[in-house]
Structure 1
Amino acid sequence: MYVLDTNVIISLHKNYYRRRFVSLWKAFDQLVADGKITSTREAYHELHDGVPGADTEWAKANKKLFAIPDAKEGTFVGKIYSVAHFQANIEKQKLFKGGRNADAFIVARAHSVGGTVVTMERLKPNAVKVPNICEHFKIPYLDLEGFMENEGWQF
């Protein structure tokens, strides 16, 4: 199970046009149909906050992928925020983005479903990026190319 960060969804739609990358989208849509792709409601909200490149029509058509966090996920978000380093930076990002930040919820979803986070963010020392949170809690993560490689895709 792959848990997609908002930036991956945006990157796919912005850089891989459906009419030009037909085989990519066929493979991706098959993963969606097989229930191997998920995200979180908070990512859905980020997509609808006027993010450049966001395909809100695709998100609306696939709203079932954007799960409402359950109690287990909520508890894990609390665990993430209990780490002082993560709490301070996430709150700062939240203020910059007008109250939306799906990062902790994406990691919590992956933890809950035993999935792998797919994000465009890179691991940076002392940062509070999705990969840093994943590393701290030993949750697997990939970038978009790693996701494609993991699926054995070549185009």
Structure 2
Amino acid sequence: MKVVLRKDVPGLGKAGDIKNVADGYARNYLIPRGLAAVATPGAIKQAEQERIAEAERTRRLQQEAEELAEKLAQQTLTFKARAGEGDRLYGSITSADIAQAIQEATGLEVDKRKVLLERPIRELGEHTVTVKLHGDVVSQVKVVVEREA
């Protein structure tokens, strides 16, 4: 029986794929769980339209991420923090702080898990932080930590 997969099925295929499977597997497992539909001409056409729409959405998100990466590369985020001797901060600047500063500076929300810090910033000075935006689009943001007066 030919079916159109509605969701990714491990070992079988991705959503939108047209697969030939055993009748019992389709009727008793795939179709009742909403993982697939019988491959009628209408279902095949709908799956193709969904695949085209998904490709367009992915392309648009990629383009937006690249534009945001250019904006972020030109940004300098400045933090004021209390520091002791030797320019060591009493606290630290975390990925959550940087994500919030990016949101305030650009108006775009960035998840703190997308800010790639090996460890929190604990020293005064200039630091470069990597922000992963979408897929393989990354941007470098300059972070300056100054002594609070």
- TM > 0.5 fold call: no
TM range (shorter): under 0.3
Higher-Rg member (1/2): 2
Specify which structure has the higher proportion of strand.
Answer: 2
TM-score of the two chains, using structure 1 as the length reference: 0.24
Specify which structure has the higher proportion of helix.
Answer: 1
Q: Which structure has more RCO (C-alpha within 8 Å, separation ≥ 6)?
A: 1
TM-score of the two chains, using structure 2 as the length reference: 0.25
